[in-house]
Structures are given as structure tokens and as C-alpha cells.
Structure 1
Amino acid sequence: MSRGRTGAAAGSALAAAVALAALTGCAAGGAAPSPTPTTAAFQLDQDFPDPGALVVGDRVYAYATNAPGKNVQLASSTDLRHWTLSDADALPELPSWATPGKTWAPGPAALPGGRYALYFTATDTASGRQCVGAAFAADPAGPFTSPSAAPLVCPVDEGGAIDASVFTEDDGTRFLVWKNDGNCCGLDTWIHVQRLSADGTALVGEATKLVKQTEPWEGHLVEAPVIVKHAGTYVLLYSANDYGGDAYATGAATAPSLLGPYTKHDGPILSTTGSGGRYRGPGGADLVSFKGVDWLLFHSWDDATVYRGLHVVRVAWRGGVPVPAT
């Protein structure tokens, strides 16, 4: 299954909460037996999967996969600890090509001229595949509108496309990063990158394949890609394995240039086993720098595996990759 599968309705509030802490480690080989989970505190204790984050001034906006009555969820924070969940749908109307019901993994970006983009996954009615569309707004809180009559990325013969995010180079050039949804139909899942037009409405040139599933812990897929640049090195964060359980985890790969080649970190940087069960199936990660500190936003399952709540943890850079700070 894919990173952005529609989340279940939020369950009851967790019975107890503990302070956020982070433990990392590698899951050797395939999926290891799950430890007895412990209750971890959520910044948003309800279904808010696949978070994509955008810093605008002194506020962070987080966008998430659909919920009942909303195509795209929106929350905001001024301290990354306390969040205000918007009553409004950030993408109230889907474009004509999209079938409602499976709007996943929104990836936000700031554009020139005070405009904002939101790259989202939705079902392409014509093909039945999940594909990536683009929506735009004058305010990061939306409402975003998508004027195109066709998806931005829709490689039907590769299973479609999901989980788009934006990387911005030092010179302001933007690139779209996504995954072809090959696991829908027995194909490889590649992370792709391709240049965006200056206004964010179109792709330029050809896409480059970066990495696919190769490691035992990754299972049959890699997805949810985000690229950041740290100390001159390009760092690709991604999720892998089955999103619906404890085997789902977050990995990292590094490269000297945006187009690679990328070298994968040895094992996941965030996993159920590596966190001692504190985070169950942690994935859908995004990374932002806010007030001089780097933060990782990701989802994990509640103890009953009913919903995926939002975690936000401060990171430290070790061996060239971000890990939750202890």
C-alpha cells in the first residue's frame, strides 16, 4: 500500500502522554518483531498523516492527507509544540480530472510574488491511478485552487505518481520530487526529481530517477520523498515498507549533487524497533528549519492502530543525516 492511503477516523484521545524523546536504530534484515508499544505524545492527537510543512514568517503551516469533509487538512503553529487545526479545507474543490475520496500527501511550496503552491495526490478519473496535481493560493492558509484539466504528473504505465514535494536550490530554482506508484501493480517504485517552471505550474526537461527499493527493511517500496540540503550535501528522506503497520520506517540517502548518485544510510533513521516502540510505523516525514533549529515532522500510529497522529521532534545531524535529538 501507499504512503497516502486515506487515514481512518480519529480514535479516542490517548490515555496518557509522555514527553517526546527520540531513539533511533536500524532494523536488521526484514521486519523485526515489534516491541511492546508505549504511548507517545502527539502534537496533534488525531488522524493527520503524511504531513508537508511550510515556514512563512513566524508560523509553520502543516498540510495532511484527507479527512472526513476535507480534501486537505491544515494546521498551524508558532512554536511547533502547540497546533491550531483549521476548520477549513485547504483544497475545497478538486480539479475536473480528479475523483474525490483519496487526496493524499500534500507538498507545499512558496513561489515568487507572494504566491504559494500545493502539490497533491488524487485519483485520476480517466486512468484510475493516483496522480499528482498542482494548486495555488495567495495565502498559505488557502484556499488553494487547481485550474488544470489534467494532472501534472501521471505516468499511468508506471502505476501513477504520488507523494510530491518541492526542493528549492540556493539560486531559487525549484524541483518537484515524487514517487511512481509501482507497488500498485507489481512494478519498482522509483523516487524521481524534475525541474519546475518558475511559476510552479509545469515541469521542465526530463525526470531523473534517484533511488528505488533495494534494502531488506524497505520491503516492496520506497515513497514519501523529501530532499533537503545540509552542509553542501543533498539529503533525501523517504519512507519504506507497509504504511499500515510497525514495519513502516523512515530512511535517508545522501549525494554530492541533486541528481545523485545517492548513497543510502545503513538502515532507517527512524523506526518502530529503533525507537523502542515509542513511534509505531513512523513515516511521511518532512524537515523544516524554524527559528534556527531543524525539526522533523512525521506521523505514527496510535496504540490501537486506528489513526496516525502528528509528531514534531528536534533533530541533530549525525553522519550527514538528521536523527531525532536525545
Structure 2
Amino acid sequence: MLGVEDGWVLTATSNDALDAFPILHSRDLEHWEHRGFVFPEGSAPAWVRHGLRTGDFWAPEMARVGDEYWLAYTARDQTGALAIGLARAPSQFGPWIDNGEPMITGGKVLTPGGPASGGVIDSHIFVDQDGTPYLFWKNDTNGLWPRPLAGLLREHPPLIQQLFESERDRRTAAFAAAIQPWANSRRSMERFFWMQPLIEAALDNWTRVKPALIAFGKAGEIVQAMRTPIHARQLAPDGRSLVGEECVVLANDLDWEGHLIEGPFVTRQNGRYWMFYAGNDFSTPAYGIGVAAADHPFGPYEKRGEPLLKSNREWWAPGHASVASGVNGRPQLFFHAFLPGQCGYNEFRALLTVGLEFGPDGVELREV
């Protein structure tokens, strides 16, 4: 969500649709008009792998930088790894010109000749009050641990009893371990659907899974992949490159965050920098929005100990927030969430908003 002179502009994930990243415009935050796409069919950047069941266009975010509009986004490169691109336009409606190559790559190959996994996602452009642009993103290491964990459980079945408390979660883990060799040969989305029950079982037992793996002593790579840092680096004034040193600004270290944090968004309010982020797994009601504050865009950030926004009776799994001024000129948090009991891939997510009140003791929610 981006506030502009004549209203607000919204862009959204389009997955493998041939027209990538729809652009919507509103003058009142109630009525919306579709104004086109960032990359209409046939205009996707050459470095991007696209097409039905092969491409992924995720998490676009638009920012005003000087006299231009910049859009950072996630897509798969030609190896299948998730990477971050950046496009620029003279108007929020385009035409959009991509830089021609990814700004950041980070895919890893788990086995020689195997499919790429991990990568980098959820880019965010923050422009400071002096006009300096910064790029934030998430290292998607949470995609790296489920398959090795299933392999470890396959080799050491007694671990299942140590890691998982309920009989249901133990059966889930045993099944994932049993079919692991077959699942490794499947396409990325097929692997996703195989891994998701194991991920959810691990999150149900999160406070015992990680300590037990550390105590086991042969799961260092798995434990390391359960840490998903958010990185930041300064952007060049023309948006074509990154300058300065890269730094880690936040990582998942609270129990409620589980195996990941993602979807960072930074705003400057009352002289401080506030980072909103999502934690836990998007497919569960434990997913929520956290907030941390700092005196510099690179931190150090001090987290609120509990989620700022979490599931309730009306909406589940709120996530990937952005901040913009509302109709009344006061800051609002915009985010998406599922209907109760309907979390998961390809399920409907609505755009929601709530007011924000920044004060000396932190930030609180308020009615719009």
C-alpha cells in the first residue's frame, strides 16, 4: 500500500499468472479501480522464470523515490531460486522498466544436481527523511530445513518420540519421513504440500523441537536453517545497485515467531524507526504481526515481546503489513488475513486495516 497525491495504490502477489502484479487505485480506501499490471503478459524480465506452474511473482512493494516510483519484488530466476528484482517507472501506473537482472540472489542447492531451494523474498524499500533509499529483505532459509529434518527422522526414528508430543504429530512426522525420497523428486509446489504438514507439526512442538535437535548433536544445518534473518542494505541513488555493507537487522528469537519472520516494513514515526514484520507460519492461526523500534534504519531494533496483531474470531493469520496515512491523515496498518479455519496456500486473503497510535511507550492499535 502506498499513499499518493490522489489517493492510494495497491499492488499484490500474482503467483504464476501471465499478467504479473496487478495495480489498483483508490481515492477513498473503499472503492478500487484496476489500473493495469506491472508486467503484462509477454513483458516479464528475461532473468525471471515465468509461466503456469513454473513462475512465482510474490510480494511487490512500491515506493516513491525522488521523481520516480520504484517497485521491489520476488520472483524465481532461471535456476528456480527465489530472487529479488527492482523495476522503476515515472508514474505509479508505469510503464515499468526492470533493472535487467536480480538485485539480490540467495538460492542454495541441497543436493548436487537437485532443485534450488531457499533464496531471498519479501523486499521492502524504505526512504529516509533525507531521501536515502534502503532495501530490506528476508533470507528464506525456512524452506531449507523440512526435507533434511524428514531425512533425519527417517534415519533415526526414535527422534520422532523426542520431538513430537501428540500421537497425531508423531504420525505426521513418520509419514513425512517415509515418503521423503519420493518427495525430493517432485516439483517445488508438490514438495511444498508434502512439507507443510511436517512444518505445522514442528511448530505445534516448537519449544521442544529446537532444543531436542540441538541436544541430538547431528542436526546443526537444520537448526541453522530455522533462523530466518531480515537483512538490509543501502540502495544507490539510481536504484540500479546496492552500496555499503549488508547487515542483519532482525531474526526470529521469540517463541511466538516460530521458524521464521518475514514481510518487513519500516516507517519513521516520532523520530524513531518502526519495523513491522510477520512471524510464524502463514498457514496457521499462530501467524501474526510483530513490531520493533530503533534509532537507525539498521537498528539495533528492540522488539515488542508479543505480537501486535494476531488471530481473532473474525480473521486468522494477519501478515505482511504496510503503513500509510489514512483518509483522516493518521497512520494506518494495512495487512492481509484469512477467514477463520481457511489458512493456507490458494485460500482467500482479504486486505484489512487498523489504526496506529505511536507514543513514547510504543505503538498501539486504534479504530480507524
Superposition TM-score, scaled by structure 1 size: 0.77
Q: 2:8 aligns with which of 49, 53, 60?
A: 60
Which amino acid in the other structure matches residue 87 of structure 2? Answer: A
Which amino acid in the other structure matches residue 90 of structure 1? Answer: V
Question: Which residue of structure 2 aligns with residue 288 of structure 1?
Answer: 324
Partner of 1:217: helix, strand, or coil? helix
Is the aligned partner of 1:109 residue 2:60? no
Q: Do the aligned partners of 2:85 and 2:99 also contact (CA within 8 Å) in 1? A: no
Q: Distance in 1 between matches of 2:30 and 2:305?
A: 30
Q: Do the aligned partners of 2:316 and 2:341 also contact (CA within 8 Å) in 1? A: no
Q: In the TM superposition, what whole-angstrom CA distance separates every residue of 1:240-275 from its partner, at most 9, and x where no partner exists?
A: 111122121100011122221111102111110xxx
Q: Do the aligned partners of 2:274 and 2:292 also contact (CA within 8 Å) in 1? A: yes
Question: Which residue of structure 2 aligns with residue 252 of structure 1?
Answer: 291
Q: Distance in 1 between matches of 2:233 and 2:336?
A: 26
Is the aligned partner of 1:152 residue 2:106? no
| CA 81–322 in structure 1, closer or farther in 2 if over 3 Å, else same | farther
| CA 61–174 in structure 1, closer or farther in 2 if over 3 Å, else same | same
Mapping 1:280-319, distance limit 5 Å: 280-290=316-326, 292-303=329-340, 305=342, 306-317=347-358, 319=361
Q: 1:124 aligns with which of 70, 77, 85?
A: 77
Question: Which residue of structure 2 aligns with residue 23 of structure 1?
Answer: none
Q: 1:198 aligns with which of 237, 260, 263?
A: 237
Q: Do the aligned partners of 2:314 and 2:339 also contact (CA within 8 Å) in 1? A: no
Q: 2:273 aligns with which of 234, 239, 262?
A: 234
**Pairwise CA distance, 1:217:** 0.8
**Pairwise CA distance, 1:321:** 2.2
**Pairwise CA distance, 1:205:** 1.3
Q: Distance in 2 between matches of 1:136 and 1:103?
A: 17
Q: Distance in 1 between matches of 2:97 and 2:341?
A: 36
Q: Do the aligned partners of 1:120 and 1:133 also contact (CA within 8 Å) in 2? A: yes
Instruction: Tell me how large the CA RMSD over aligned residues is.
Output: 1.8
Q: Do the aligned partners of 1:131 and 1:162 also contact (CA within 8 Å) in 2? A: yes
Percent identity over the alignment is 34
Q: In the TM superposition, what whole-angstrom CA distance separates every residue of 1:161-219 from its partner, at most 9, and x where no partner exists?
A: 11011111111001001111111113221111110011112111111101111111111
Which amino acid in the other structure matches residue 125 of structure 2? Answer: V
Q: Distance in 2 between matches of 1:185 and 1:228?
A: 30
Q: Greater helix percent: which structure?
A: 2
Q: In the TM superposition, what whole-angstrom CA distance separates every residue of 1:24-64 from its partner, at most 9, and x where no partner exists?
A: xxxxxxxxxxxxxxxxxxxxxxxxxxxxx222202110111
Q: Distance in 1 between matches of 2:91 and 2:34?
A: 16
Question: Which residue of structure 1 aligns with residue 367 of structure 2?
Answer: 325
Question: Which residue of structure 2 aligns with residue 173 of structure 1?
Answer: 132
**Pairwise CA distance, 1:129:** 1.5
| CA 130–322 in structure 1, closer or farther in 2 if over 3 Å, else same | farther
Q: Do the aligned partners of 1:296 and 1:324 also contact (CA within 8 Å) in 2? A: no
**Pairwise CA distance, 1:99:** 1.0
Q: Which runs of 5+ in 2 are unaligned?
A: 109-116, 146-224
Q: 1:98 aligns with which of 40, 44, 48?
A: 48
Moved over 6 A (4+): none
Q: Do the aligned partners of 2:107 and 2:118 also contact (CA within 8 Å) in 1? A: yes
Q: Do the aligned partners of 1:241 and 1:248 also contact (CA within 8 Å) in 2? A: yes
Q: In the TM superposition, what whole-angstrom CA distance separates every residue of 1:259-305 from its partner, at most 9, and x where no partner exists?
A: 21111102111110xxx322211001100124521111100113462
Q: 1:82 aligns with which of 31, 55, 59?
A: 31
Q: Do the aligned partners of 1:91 and 1:142 also contact (CA within 8 Å) in 2? A: no
Q: In the TM superposition, what whole-angstrom CA distance separates every residue of 1:55-80 from its partner, at most 9, and x where no partner exists?
A: 22021101110064431022111122
**Pairwise CA distance, 1:82:** 2.4
Q: Distance in 2 between matches of 1:267 and 1:56?
A: 32
| CA 144–196 in structure 1, closer or farther in 2 if over 3 Å, else same | same
Q: Which has the higher contact order (CA 8 A, sep 6+)?
A: 1
Which amino acid in the other structure matches residue 367 of structure 2? Answer: A
Partner of 1:98: helix, strand, or coil? coil
**Pairwise CA distance, 1:230:** 1.2
Q: Distance in 2 between matches of 1:80 and 1:312?
A: 10
Question: Which residue of structure 2 aligns with residue 73 of structure 1?
Answer: 22
Q: Distance in 1 between matches of 2:75 and 2:366?
A: 31
Q: Do the aligned partners of 2:99 and 2:240 also contact (CA within 8 Å) in 1? A: no
Q: Do the aligned partners of 1:89 and 1:143 also contact (CA within 8 Å) in 2? A: no
Superposition TM-score, scaled by structure 2 size: 0.69
Partner of 1:99: helix, strand, or coil? coil
Q: Do the aligned partners of 2:356 and 2:363 also contact (CA within 8 Å) in 1? A: no
Q: Distance in 2 between matches of 1:176 and 1:125?
A: 23
